[in-house]
Chain A
Amino acid sequence: MTDISIYIIPSVIALFIAAGLVWRINVFDSFIDGAKSGIPTIISVVPTLVGLITAVEMFKASGALDMITSALLPVTNLIGLPAEAVPMALLRPISGSGSIALLNSILGTCGPDTFAGRTASVLCGASETTFYTISVYCGAVGIKKTRHILAASLISDASSAFFSALAVRIFFG
């Protein structure tokens, strides 16, 4: 799988630039324009990340994280989720920056190319900040009765934990 994946990034870049040339847009100006928008994005996330990474690291250092993961061990063993990736499954639906902070911490402890490191990465990439999305979209049209949206989304998130561990097993044996 690794052999194909090293072609993905360069091919996508080539494809997008070629498409830009075919449609006769100024690709470099567009690139600069987009790249500029990355700076405020990352700067605006600095305070959030400082707050959240500190919280995650303190939580880990205090031993509280180990207690939660060992308490959840029966459930996570059942769905095949490695213990180190459990906090990701809990935090992912709640906070986007928080899960990046957590991913940074998990990869620092386990290493990126381990089963737990890969599962946490896949889980982080395969789901969204459920609570934020629901509140923004329903809030935008002033709806409070959300019927079964939260149930469907959270069941989908829970299944994502199972599928992420499964997918890593399939692709990395």
Chain B
Amino acid sequence: MSADSVRALNQRLHDLTEASADSTWRIAQPRGAHAIACGMRVAADIVIDGHAGYYCAGMNQLARITVNGNVGVGVAENMMSGVVRVKGQASQSAGATAHGGLLVIEGDAAARCGISLKGGNIVVGGSAGHMTGFLSQAGNIVICGDAREALGDSLYETHIYVRGRAEGLGADCMEKDLRDEHREDLAGLLEQAEIDADPATFRRYGSARTLYTYKADNAEVAAQ
């Protein structure tokens, strides 16, 4: 797929209206092209048969996009709603800053998966790379395999669930109790992701909230 054909494809997809959105689009031979099906605004079904490049399904709204292959950097970045499913592996920054919607990566995700997540949900069927959940603010990240080092570094309020081993936690990230409400949320996410896993086998990680305000030794106050 050449750059010209990406432009033509995206324009046709962008020209879809709510009325014409109830259709399935199949994109053959994507050849790793960048920015395929980014900026969708309607609830169309889009299937990409092959590998996609950077920013596939970027800023998605409403659309249901399936990639029968691997994806490059930033799949579903800043997604607002809809569902993006990657049947293969995902490169770095998968689901970065997503505000909503569901990103499912059936294989592994590389570094910084869910970076600065703002409310979206990400389910990784395999393992996730280092600094997954870096600076993430809201939403959920579910990792069915292992998490590499510095998980949840500088985390805000995102919930991170890991079934395998977390190699190391980043600054201000800590393990927290997995309570009933978390198991319930997790079960729902796994069901939506169509991944068969027992929620009780996961561990939960969240923010220790020690970096929320600047701490200093105030000599005057201490002397009083």
Do the two chains belong together in a single complex? no
